[in-house]
Structure 1
Amino acid sequence: MKFVTADTHFLDEHLLGIDRFAPRPFTSVDVMDQTIIEHWNARVSDQDTVYHLGDIAVYFAKPQKDAYATIFRLLNQLNGHLILIKGNHDSRGLFKYIAKHNYDLGNQPKFAFYDVGVLMKYDHRQYYLTHYPLMLGIAPQIINLHGHIHHYSVPAKRNINVGIDSPELDYLDRPVPFGTPLSFAEVEQMVNGKFIDFEKRQ
């Protein structure tokens, strides 16, 4: 199966407590990180693929490679093949470190990388997967799945925030545990829910 997520922000102490931008009521990054890992692995198997739309982690150490190694150890605890799309908190140095230590899981690499985004088809829709929300203009057949804005949403019905803090998770029939990657059936619920919401406003 294919899943999508964004803005895990592993190791990010700035998001602990009730922050105005992305409230995460955890007492420590260890508790937050372990919660995300457990909920991720409860849904995703090593045969699955997860599109991570950026902002994997926020962590600094000296030398910098020690920070990369710490983030890499966390990523290795996550099930599945990870397709990593670069976010504003993801450095090229981190991606180079992961690429250098990449390995095969089953018959394909554990990690794949994209700087900007991925255009994909799933079922009857086209999706453009990016970190930043995009205004795609006259492209009614394309839905932009994105992260970056945490508990905000774009006032456009074809932009869906799939980050783990997204308020658009409220469009789902049932809540998902914090940090759980979304199936594309759930993405479809979010798309339909936002479309209906916009129709009600007109």
Structure 2
Amino acid sequence: MFVRKFYISDTHLGHARLLDMQPRPFNSIEEHDEHVVACWNSVVRNEDIVYHLGDFAFALLRNEDRVRELFGRLRGRKYLIIGNHDVDKKGNLHPALATLGWAERPSQALRTKDGGRDVYMSHYAARVWPSSHHGAVHFYGHSHGRLPGHGLSRDVGVDMPDVDFTPRTFSELTANMELPDGR
């Protein structure tokens, strides 16, 4: 079976205060979290790859059992690019996240190939990135739709209208980009 790659950022599972700070259409954080899980599993199969570009969970880090339970319900082989809410006060990956079954150790940035192009992923937006001058695409999160993409970069956060809480493929995320020839 063909393995697909998906991208998403800023799920903020368990982050109840987020519902007051940003316009997410949920009455409770439990409703929010269940919606994220349902959207994720509506497109991702167990054999697929999902790159999560940071801020996976927040207040749930105080409840490791709930973090594990939600993580276990999400389909796919999951990679984490570390976001600002994924670390403790000293900047270390939060222990609750470190013990989850990520496909590899979470990192500050990752690169992959998709759609015949290099893809550079980080939680934070960059003005330039590896191979950007050769047509590489950059996916980021963190800005919650408030920072427009630059060139071949774009926000892949759950609150982007075309992401809508659902992991998206490279072709979906780049549909409105003018990708230069000569990859």
Per the shorter chain, which TM-score range? 0.7 to 0.9
- Unaligned segments of structure 1, at least 5 residues: 103-109, 170-175, 196-202
Q: Which residue of 1 aligns with 2:45?
A: 45
Change (3 A) 1:4 1:190: farther
Larger radius of gyration: 1
Counting only pairs closer than 5 Å after superposition, residues 82-101 of structure 1 correspond to structure 2 as: 82-91=78-87, 92-94=92-94, 96-100=95-99
Q: Which residue of 2 aligns with 1:78?
A: 74
Change (3 A) 1:111 1:72: farther
Q: How many residues align?
A: 171
Change (3 A) 1:101 1:38: closer
Q: CA RMSD in A?
A: 2.4
CA apart distance, 1:182 = 0.3
Q: Relative to total residues, which structure has the larger strand share, 1 or 2?
A: 1
Distance (whole Å) between structure 1 residues aligned to residue 77 and residue 120 of structure 2: 19
Aligned residue among 144, 148, 151 for 2:145: 151
Q: Which residue of 2 aligns with 1:200?
A: none
Counterpart AA for 1:135: R
Q: Which residue of 1 aligns with 2:16?
A: 13
| Secondary structure of 2:17 counterpart | helix
Aligned residue among 125, 134, 145 for 2:126: 134
| Secondary structure of 1:76 counterpart | helix
Relative to the length of structure 1, the TM-score reads: 0.75
Q: In the alignment, is the contact (CA less than 8 A) between 1:86 and 1:114 conserved in 2?
A: yes
Relative to the length of structure 2, the TM-score reads: 0.82
Q: Relative to total residues, which structure has the larger helix share, 1 or 2?
A: 1
Identity %: 30
Distance (whole Å) between structure 1 residues aligned to residue 71 and residue 103 of structure 2: 10
